[in-house]
Structure 1
Amino acid sequence: MSRSFTFLVNPNSGGGAAPRVVVPLARRLREAGAAVEVSYTSSPAVVPDLVKAAVADGRVVVSVGGDGMLSSVAGAVVDAGGELAVIPAGRGNDFARMLEVPTSEAAQVELLLGGAPTPVDLLSVVLPGRPSVMVAGSVYAGVDARAGEIVDRSHWLPGRLQYPVAAVRALATYRPVALTVEVDGRRSEHRAANVVVANSRYYGKGMAIAPEASVDDGELDVIVIEAAGRLDLIRSLPKVYDGAHVALDEVKVLRGSRVTVSGSYARSRAVVPIGADGERLGDLPATGADPLVVEVRPGAVKILR
């Protein structure tokens, strides 16, 4: 029996690339005998109902967009007990890169029709006073979250330049954060540029921030980049693309299944931003307050691979 699909498409992803991706792909699937529905939405609030209806009808839910869209869809698929597929059409597409989702239309059709539902880990993320959310790739606080904010205002730049330019601009103006990090009960203090709690190896459009990360090992990779001179950090930026940065003395790598983070800028009331898969998540709880909590959900979602 041929599969049936519900495509959930963020029309704003990739500067409007998502609709251009889904139309020919849906046509080829229908020509192959598959039933395909397509829903366009840029509102995470309506995603759970769309997913619930698709799963109740026995359809594979296909996320078409970027990493932020994927995270909102993945959490809803977990709640509904369904199966997920990923078609990258955003600016970063880092989780699709981690899953090695093909970029050619023909290969994507083959994946959707013949791929095996495979358990994949997700992150459960809780900020004090807010309900938990599911995240696919990574959660980060400090200079990287600041870079994400800059990317959101950099649509005038060509896509290939948005992340590198934002990273340099964020590093050029960063302030160290006094961080408290706890991994499976092991507590450490850091004066850091940023911290990343990663399920996926990639973020920031191909940066291998956590080169040893795996989406099916039931563990999180925690990358702490200690504070250093701004020029030193900018010069080290190219090392992140192949993972060579983890050999630097300023980089600490921790592993575990439950991570808490809190922290503040020294002598400043400014908030420390938190990002998750290219979207702003909120503000980092200050030192001494209830922390940000990130836990791995092993095999939480089945994704066609």
Structure 2
Amino acid sequence: MSTTKTVERVTVLINPLAGHGHAPVAGRKGVARLRDRGVTVTEIIGTDADHARTLARRAIDDGTDALVVVGGDGAISIGLQAAARSGTPIGLIPAGTGNDHAREFGVPVGDPVAAADVIADGEVQESDLARITLTDGAVVWAGTVVASGFDSLVTDRANRMTWPKGPMRYNLAMLAELTQLRPLSYRIELDDATVQADATLVAVGNGRSYGGGMQICPGANKTDGLLDVTVVGFGSRARLVRLFPRVYKGTHVDLPEVQTYRSRTVRLQCEGITAYADGDRVGPLPVTIEAVPGALHILSHTPA
């Protein structure tokens, strides 16, 4: 569903580290364009993620017309925690390395002026969000994919590494995890079935992609009230390496070792595995993930 909102004043949250430090440049261009369009802009920069969430929630409570996030999927995740179910729309000025949220909603990537025009035009789309509940009762909202298994082990390792910097660190972490590849024993509880699987990874998608366009859940529809579950069964290292390029086109789901499911609620259990959502660490499994219809309002030109 699409509505039009008059956008007169917005709060802009900038992640200065996004896109290897390019976010402030994109932010300046986007903010200048918003002001050219007659929009009053208040800028906020948190000292850390918790502080940024507090500032964003305060802006929403104070009645900002929109919360605009400048950065990548990690920064957008901060905005989601503040804006979920609030009715206040989020606007995106993509400035990260992945930008999966922006691609999902058709927001221009690499053009902060065009992204600012989307915000000023005021077309609001409704979208589902995934609500993740940890064993301690903590709740995290996710817009794209909840990842667990091989990919989360790689991210765990990369986060522990101090060298090298940049994408190469992730590549080295992936090579290291490939040498230790092992079956992961999952219990996956769906609405109408329970699946036991020795898997390489399990991804739960509200959206289709993560990691900068990897369509791990290619059939996901962010307005159907359901989550898509992709289970990659355990296989050899060579098989996993052959599967990897197909993820960018979403054709991996046609392989016999890949199973897909659809469910409103998903509970994942696997000892020693951490869940990540929108690229950020959520916490150890087990977690319960639920599709919440209409939890997100987002400024977009593309119907959600």
Instruction: State whether TM-score is above 0.5.
Output: yes
Q: Does 1:27 align with 2:28?
A: no
Structure 1 residues 206 and 166, CA, compared in 2 at 3 Å: closer, same or farther?
A: farther
> Structure 1: which 5+ runs fail to align?
265-270, 286-291
Aligned counterparts of 2:117 and 2:133: Cα–Cα separation in 1:
37
- Equivalent residues in 2 for 1:20-169 (5 A)? 20-41=25-46, 43-55=48-60, 56-78=62-84, 80-103=86-109, 104-152=111-159, 153=161, 156=164, 159=167, 166-169=173-176
RMSD: 2.1
Task: Select which of 232, 235, 239 maps to 1:225.
Answer: 232
1:75 CA displacement: 2.3
Counterpart contact for 1:10–1:42, Cα < 8 Å: no
Aligned counterparts of 1:296 and 1:156: Cα–Cα separation in 2:
37
Counterpart contact for 2:27–2:112, Cα < 8 Å: no
Counterpart contact for 1:190–1:226, Cα < 8 Å: yes
- Which residue type is aligned with residue 39 of structure 1? I
Counterpart contact for 1:172–1:234, Cα < 8 Å: no
Aligned counterparts of 1:19 and 1:106: Cα–Cα separation in 2:
13
* Residue 268 (structure 1) aligns with: none
- Which residue type is aligned with residue 246 of structure 2? K
- Normalised by the length of structure 2, the TM-score is 0.89
Q: Mean Cα displacement is larger for which, 74-83 or 210-219?
A: 74-83
Task: Give the number of equivalent residue pairs.
Answer: 292
Structure 1 residues 141 and 15, CA, compared in 2 at 3 Å: closer, same or farther?
A: same
Q: Mean Cα displacement is larger for which, 252-261 or 67-76?
A: 67-76
* Residue 267 (structure 1) aligns with: none
Aligned counterparts of 2:198 and 2:86: Cα–Cα separation in 1:
41
- Which residue type is aligned with residue 146 of structure 2? V
Structure 1 residues 2 and 195, CA, compared in 2 at 3 Å: closer, same or farther?
A: closer
Aligned counterparts of 1:99 and 1:106: Cα–Cα separation in 2:
16
Measured against aligned partners, the alpha-carbon deviations of 1:151-201 in whole angstroms (never above 9, x if no partner) come to 544884665x66666545433432211101011131011000010011111
Counterpart contact for 1:257–1:295, Cα < 8 Å: yes
Measured against aligned partners, the alpha-carbon deviations of 1:44-63 in whole angstroms (never above 9, x if no partner) come to 32234322332223331011
- Which residue type is aligned with residue 277 of structure 2? A
- Which residue type is aligned with residue 40 of structure 1? I
Structure 1 residues 107 and 58, CA, compared in 2 at 3 Å: closer, same or farther?
A: same
Counterpart contact for 1:47–1:76, Cα < 8 Å: no
> Structure 2: which 5+ runs fail to align?
1-5
Counterpart contact for 1:63–1:70, Cα < 8 Å: yes
